Structure 1
Amino acid sequence: MNQTSKSLILAEKPSVAREIAKVLGLRGRGQGYLEDNRYVITWAVGHLVNIAEPGDQNPDWGKQWSLQQLPMIPERFTLTVLDQTRDQFAIVKSLMARDDITDIINATDAGREGELIFRRIYLTAGCTKPIKRLWANDMTEAGLKKALANLVPGEDKRNLGLAAFARAEADWLVGMNFSRLFTVKTGGLVTVGRVQSPVLKLLVDRRKAIENFKPQNYWTIEGMFGQEDEPFKGVWFAPPKRKDNKLWEEDHAKELAKQCTDKQGMVESVSSTRGRQRPPLPFDLTTLQREANTRFGLSAKRVLEIAQELYESKKILTYPRTDSRYLTTEVYNEILDHLRAIYPHFQEISTLAAERIKAATKKFACVNDKKVSDHHAIIPTKKPAVREQLSPDQWNIYEMVCRRTMAAFLPDCTFLTSQVWILVETEPFKATGKIFKDRGWFVAEPWRTAKDNPLPGVAKGDPIKVREVGPVKHTTKPPAHFTDASLLGAMETAGKLVDNEELQEALKERGLGTPATRAQIIETLISRNYVTKQGKKLMATDKGCHVVETVEASLPDLVSPELTGSWEQELKTMEHGNITYPQFMGRIKNMVRQGVENLRNRKFATTPATLPPGKTSLGKCPKCGGDVVENSKAYGCINWREANGGCRFTIWKNMFGGKINKTQVKELLTKEITSNALKLETRDGKKYEARLILQQGRVKVDMQTNNRSATAKVRQQVAAQADEPGDAKPSP
């Protein structure tokens, strides 16, 4: 490098640029960059460049949405500079073009998304200078120095960049084409996404399972055995297999319990088994989010924000957006330095972990170079944390990571489980106990259950006193609503939802979405009113259910994890150079073309309207299931617009010469009849009293039930006007 030559370092955000500058001792400052005699450091602000909107790809695609525009498949994707970051892009572009800049160091996040951010900027700026890649696992001074000393040739990450472009462009093709198609066909906005749609289906399926669940009562037979000072519980199991302990008829349960009452028991067998629970692996982002949601109620999005703060600003955690729960041998060789950093907060436990590491004769289960691709598991860095400088949430996340890291190097938790089978007459009862021999790694996570539950010493053939026996009633429970924790788990292990083993393997590694994107997927579903959050519970809305039903009926692959699995499998193959970008994109384009053509002439159900602001639902429309609300002259279905189905169900406030109030409307919608008779009047002024009924979506006078006030003539006139207007376009 001659004296005037410089390297341009492009970081993903200003804070990272400042940290790199500090490590390099660089102090000179320009507008939007830092500079000395060897380096120029500048930054993006996340994405500076994105795929252009359809109208910028093709002017015809920017007009009012129509089926004639579809499919929208650009010959070459146009990129556009984002308006809010246009000034910073201009700075970066001008720096890349400077004569004294001879090479570009890509210092964006070390992963697929970071590669995409850099290569879009590089391409849009028209730069052709050589690329080097900075690949950092933590933001400490030592971590950055190490990464700067070991820059990777840009060509080594070319396939990662191609996979990043392919993923983004495939998502654009699926999202833009099918969102527009379903929106035009149904008349209401429907958004479709490669990852969003199958995740929404998980939530919709769970809601339906809960709604369709019918609880059932069942009984178990439980007894207390042994001496008064050492009683223990046994549970009856059905012979001869002794696998099931449920009885579905109460009389049967009572009869069995009666047969065992006031009888002498005998020990049929006694067995003991040694067991162990191995230490957990360190956290990746998804497992950290799940654990924090379960323990502290933090959303997936908030956990990611906190972990990012502890990585970037506090520099006490390693890179958080990782999908690996393993450490490399290189990191393991330095792990004692990490434990020294956390020693002041966890003296006893970190000492135990350090002693085991020093005495180890073989690698720990969490050390596996083959299981680490972009980044290793999340662990504390070598920088000590100052608790007083952390918020309560920050400390909770930091403490979780520290304790999990130490736990990974502690001994197994060992225990002894005992099992006693007791015969009362011929009926078998099982008693189980557990005694912990060594709590092992549980000391690092003391909130875990580790209580002894011993059984008294008995031997085969011993008589056992039956103290009491009785049936215990239980009720089956529906599946639990998803929480952030359980939904993240379902997204991560979506491979169980498909049969193809190769797709399962791809999903096992990536699941639905990536660790870095899963939290945002959940937030997107909430923001679009496809999902609602009540406390910790995540539930699909009516709108979300309608979207899944509409898409699944036409393109089931779009709501299936199989699509995500097959794409992720091919993208990972592309990262390793075993499939080309044109091959992958060719298949995606063909799928979009075929999907659009297959659906172009198909009829779809319309999208239901949402409850207008300030309106209260009086009940569900008997015709379409939409909400019925009060308007100026009537009570009408909110789906009255053609775009929402054109439902004309209406109950007028003045019908049959009487006035109908909201209470009576609620009764009609729920019971199909009013509780009390209304004061009504025929067209020629004859007064009478009668209840109203709802039949086949129309309100009618009930002339049959307890109606003594109406004469025969009145009955005849009422019958003549029974088809009083009941279907009309209500006031908006």
Structure 2
Amino acid sequence: MKTVLMVAEKPSLAQSIAKILSKGSCSSRKGLNGACSVHEYMGTFSGQSMRFKMTSVCGHVMSLDFIGKYNNWDKVDPAELFSKAPTEKKEANPKLNMVKFLQVEAKGCDYVVLWLDCDKEGENICFEVLDAIEPVMTRPYGGEKTVYRAKFSSITDTDIWAAMSKLGEPNRNEALSVDARQELDLRIGCAFTRFQTKYFQGKYGNLDSSLISFGPCQTPTLGFCVERHDKIQSFKPETYWVIQAKVFKGKDSPLTLDWDRVRVFDREVGQMFVNITKTSKEAKVESVSKKEKAKQRPLALNTVEMLRVASSSLGMGPQHTMQIAERLYTQGYISYPRTETNHYHDNFDLKGTLKQQANNPFWAQEVKALLSEGLNRPRKGADAGDHPPITPMRAASEGELGGDGWRLYEYIVRHFIATVSQDCKYLQTTISFSIASEGFSCSGKTLISPGEDTTPLSDVVIP
């Protein structure tokens, strides 16, 4: 009987995918490296009954480094690292014995299905896996295709079975682009790290024994942070004065008016204007304007926006947020959380995705109203050609996810609901007043149609 080897990017993904494809009937055992399990079951492939072995790697199998003699800082000019220094591939984590583990499991296998993450890094790992296993696999007859690539964006039964029914091939060009990026990172990072470490030695006592690392992405980002920090530190606050007036009408709550001049930087001048306004006991309404406005529903959710909101509204740092998002993805609650795309394709099943949330008490009312009245087409965003936007893939309860897992999931669900809802519409009323010779105004918003917004509208009620 022929055997199909399947390889995912993480042990947890391998377990989830095997459970779906075996319909819960797979048996599991630990691999020789102790880090990766192997899940086995019987099934059909290309119309034939076959044995399946599902396992994983732990990220990249190989890493890039200079050959030995170029790792000597004292004997190598950093400039040589740009062009002359040859590189070689080494096992990323020798303690895992990943190459040997893959070869042991691949020996005698007839086909391989690659379930690595569907991004450029995943394509690169595909070929790292193939380089390790192809020499020990059963040789194909007559040019038979033996290497397949699964494309998926969520760990749900529907998506995994759809990926299995539409297997393609790994993309070598995308894998090579990662090789190029890795080499650039290595050459630039090492050359500049060595150069600036040696340059600063002896100039600042506390740096003599330190490695001053350079990263092609991290160092410019650090530069932006330092520049902003310097601006904050060098900022010199200047005292200013404002005038606020309160007007009363009967028993209604008072309205606080903003001064048309906004502020003055001279206290005596400010006191002069206060004295002028105090000569009048009344505020005269000069004009009232009303204008209907709309707050657009959000674009579909991508990684940058998720991290921004998690930081600003949920108080969760980027690393912590991505760890939770990866876990929610692996467990099948959300789609792949690393995407630049914020646009849904026309064939995306928006209604089916929304229906899954119809019984959650936190948003059931809004969801059922949308399903009854009809969904709005999401706003047109940017399609980066990687993964669909971050989307809830199945219903969950607070008890299932708990803590920050629930808070992030709740935000993702509410964001999705907002993308297919009406825009938030409100009436903005602005009243201009005169008190003595000075002008004041106040504005307020009255909700017309709330839509479903992830950030609430601040209302000021004007009597």
* C-alpha separation in 1, matches of 2:357 and 2:256: 48
The residue number in structure 2 matching 1:401 is 412
The answer to whether 1:270 aligns with 2:288 is: yes
The residue number in structure 2 matching 1:607 is none
The answer to whether 1:146 aligns with 2:127 is: no
Cα offset, 1:107, TM superposition = 0.9
Contact kept, 8 Å, 1:325 with 1:377, in 2: the verdict is yes
Q: Deviations over 1:80-121 (max 9, x none)?
A: 11344543321313555x4552x4322111112222222233
Q: TM-score, normalised by structure 1?
A: 0.54
* C-alpha separation in 2, matches of 1:75 and 1:348: 64
The residue number in structure 1 matching 2:360 is 344
The answer to whether 1:16 aligns with 2:16 is: no
Compared CA separation, residues 391 and 433, structure 1 to 2 (3 A): closer
* C-alpha separation in 1, matches of 2:78 and 2:448: 70
The residue number in structure 2 matching 1:133 is 149
Contact kept, 8 Å, 1:222 with 1:233, in 2: the verdict is yes
Secondary structure of 2:153 counterpart: coil
Q: Which runs of 5+ in 2 are unaligned?
A: 32-37, 43-49, 140-144, 202-207
Secondary structure of 1:92 counterpart: helix
Secondary structure of 1:216 counterpart: coil
- Select which of 62, 75, 85 maps to 2:71: 62
Q: Deviations over 1:286-328 (max 9, x none)?
A: 322222223332221111111111111x321111122223322
Compared CA separation, residues 138 and 204, structure 1 to 2 (3 A): same
Secondary structure of 2:243 counterpart: strand
The residue number in structure 2 matching 1:46 is 59
Contact kept, 8 Å, 1:415 with 1:437, in 2: the verdict is yes
The residue number in structure 1 matching 2:255 is 232
* C-alpha separation in 2, matches of 1:293 and 1:408: 21
Q: Which has the larger radius of gyration?
A: 1
* C-alpha separation in 1, matches of 2:448 and 2:227: 43
The residue number in structure 2 matching 1:416 is 427
Cα offset, 1:421, TM superposition = 2.0
The residue number in structure 2 matching 1:325 is 342
The answer to whether 1:215 aligns with 2:232 is: no
Contact kept, 8 Å, 1:353 with 1:407, in 2: the verdict is no
The residue number in structure 2 matching 1:505 is none
What amino acid is the match of 1:60? K
* C-alpha separation in 1, matches of 2:457 and 2:105: 58
Contact kept, 8 Å, 1:132 with 1:151, in 2: the verdict is yes
What amino acid is the match of 1:324? T
Q: Deviations over 1:551-605 (max 9, x none)?
A: xxxxxxxxxxxxxxxxxxxxxxxxxxxxxxxxxxxxxxxxxxxxxxxxxxxxxxx
Compared CA separation, residues 386 and 441, structure 1 to 2 (3 A): closer
* C-alpha separation in 2, matches of 1:20 and 1:296: 31
Q: Deviations over 1:174-220 (max 9, x none)?
A: 11110011112212421011111121112211221121111101112
Contact kept, 8 Å, 1:339 with 1:354, in 2: the verdict is yes
Compared CA separation, residues 29 and 76, structure 1 to 2 (3 A): farther
The residue number in structure 2 matching 1:27 is 26
Secondary structure of 1:330 counterpart: coil
What amino acid is the match of 2:212? V
* C-alpha separation in 2, matches of 1:276 and 1:385: 32
Kindly report which structure 2 residues correspond to 1:647-686, keeping only aligned pairs within 5 A, or say none: none
Compared CA separation, residues 82 and 163, structure 1 to 2 (3 A): closer
Q: Which runs of 5+ in 1 are unaligned?
A: 239-244, 457-732
Compared CA separation, residues 391 and 74, structure 1 to 2 (3 A): farther
Contact kept, 8 Å, 1:434 with 1:453, in 2: the verdict is yes
Secondary structure of 1:296 counterpart: coil
Cα offset, 1:453, TM superposition = 2.2
* C-alpha separation in 1, matches of 2:260 and 2:230: 33
- Select which of 274, 299, 302 maps to 2:320: 302
Give the superposed CA RMSD. 2.7
Deviates more, 1:171-180 or 1:28-37: 28-37
Q: Deviations over 1:207-265 (max 9, x none)?
A: 21121111101112222235343442322224xxxxxx221111111112212222254
Contact kept, 8 Å, 2:11 with 2:57, in 1: the verdict is yes
Cα offset, 1:338, TM superposition = 4.4
The count of residues paired between Structure 1 and Structure 2 equals 427
Deviates more, 1:278-287 or 1:132-141: 278-287
* C-alpha separation in 1, matches of 2:88 and 2:51: 34
Secondary structure of 2:80 counterpart: coil
The residue number in structure 1 matching 2:309 is 291
Q: Deviations over 1:422-472 (max 9, x none)?
A: 233443222222211222214xx4x62443421x4xxxxxxxxxxxxxxxx
Compared CA separation, residues 85 and 322, structure 1 to 2 (3 A): farther
The residue number in structure 1 matching 2:118 is 110
* C-alpha separation in 2, matches of 1:21 and 1:74: 46
* C-alpha separation in 1, matches of 2:9 and 2:425: 47
* C-alpha separation in 1, matches of 2:99 and 2:76: 36
The residue number in structure 2 matching 1:381 is 393
* C-alpha separation in 2, matches of 1:119 and 1:200: 33
Q: TM-score, normalised by structure 2?
A: 0.83
What amino acid is the match of 2:238? Q
